[in-house]
Amino acid sequence: MKNMSDIIEAYLKQVLSQDEQIEIKRNEIADQFKCVPSQINYVINTRFTIEKGYLVESKRGGGGYIRIAKVKLLDDVEIIDALIDLIGTSISYNDAYSLISRLYEDEIISKREGTLMLAAIDKQTLAIEEPRACILRACILKSLFKNLKYEE
């Protein structure tokens, strides 16, 4: 007998194998598996991450839900992962520019997407002093790059 998180994971994936996306009620699943509701969050946070190819959205309040969708990982995942490693925890605008250029040259992003990325991380936009701007820039850039890995 595996642990409960694995069982819930398997159950959700089994349902997902039939539909492209599923909508669950956190409390219902928790009841079904006799666990506390927050364990559903644990399962989702550890097993249905974007890195593993899932997109999760939710809404609270009456009629609330958690929606899990399977996304298609693209071919360029390895290149992107390599670039994410290069970003590290801090990166200058110029180095970021190089990485974005690289994505454009490899035809992973369009010119317009590249321009948008640059707009998001330039010095004037971030409007803070240097050591912290580089850290923030790295966070934003990594988030942008991660999102390039999947489709839909």
Question: Closer CB to its own copies, residue 30 or residue 109?
Answer: 109
Triad 106, 133, 135: Cα angle to 5°: 70
Can you give the binding site for DNA, defined by CB under 7 A? Answer: 3-6, 24-27, 35-42, 44-46, 58-66, 94
Q: Among its own copies, DNA, none, what does residue 41 contact (CB within 5–8 Å per kind)?
A: DNA
Nearest to DNA of 40, 117 (CB atom): 40
Half-sphere exposure of 29 (CA within 13 A, CB side): 25
Tell me which residue of 48, 126, 47 sits closest to 91, measured CA to CA: 126
143 binds, among DNA, its own copies, none (CB under 5 to 8 A by kind): its own copies
* Residue 40, binding choice from DNA, its own copies, none, Cβ under 5 to 8 Å by partner class: DNA
> Shortest distance, CB of residue 146 to its own copies, whole angstroms?
7
Contacts of 47 (CB under 8 A, 6+ apart): 5, 9
Tell me the C-alpha distance between 141 and 100, whole Å: 9
